[in-house]
Amino acid sequence: MFIFFDWTFWVFMVPAFLIGLWAQSKVTSAYNKYSKIKVAGRITGYDAARAILNANGLYHVQIERIGGTMTDHFDPRSNVLRLSAAVYDTASVAAVGIAAHECGHAIQYAQAYAPMKVRGALVSVTNFSSMFSMIFVVLGLIFSSPVLAYFGVGLFAIVALFQLITLPVEFNASRRAIDALEGSGAFKEEELDGVDQVLTAAALTYVAALVSAVLQLLRLLVIARNSDR
């Protein structure tokens, strides 16, 4: 019942939830639309990914099929590009765009793209901060300790920083994807436009994640300030 009387929840967390819901609906809509539109060359996500990787000298990067939907990712630890079955085997605009985007991450890693290196270095500390930031804030309230509360806020600030650094990494990967597909000469202009719409919609989820993190950080700061009174 406490949540109904916590004005910070309504002011900060509800808008964050709604923004995230809106962003997810945009990416789902774009994916559903362009997963039904086939590319003229019948190039699958795997074909597009292999061609882009090879064109950038990344012959050693393996491509694996994995389960799930929108589970596609590049794993820098094993230097493996993993594509969901719907992307790996499908010759759709959405599949090609997603595969190309993940290739963008592989290229970033190979070229030691600075924001990607910084984000990678922050993964462990971000996971810790995400798990324990609220615990320290609550402990600060329980023990009337501003030090504990502000320490929790500081931890969550790392989470917000991680989301901020994620933006250039994702936008750059999408830019690399569009450039690679356009440079191949294998796709029509309308197909490239569709890829751009899919990747733009996907990018909104990262913007929404940043906005959500900032709003939650502000909420925790307000709560910490209340513990200081």
> Which residue is catalytic, options 102, 170, 189, 190?
102
Query: What is the pLDDT at residue 131?
Result: 96
| pLDDT recorded at residue 1 | 40
* Mean pLDDT within 59-77: 95
Amino acid at 48: A
pLDDT for 4 beyond 80: no
Poorest-confidence range of 1-10, 12-21, 102-111, 131-140? 1-10
The beta-strand segments (E) located in 46-201 are 62-66, 73-75, 80-84
Q: Is the pLDDT of residue 64 over 60?
A: yes
* pTM metric for this prediction: 0.92
pLDDT at position 228 is 65
Q: CA–CA separation, 142 vs 137, rounded Å?
A: 9
How much is the pLDDT for 5? Answer: 67
The amino acid at residue 139 is L
Indicate the pLDDT class of residue 194, thresholds 50, 70 and 90: very high
pLDDT at 7: 85
Q: Is 191 a catalytic residue?
A: no
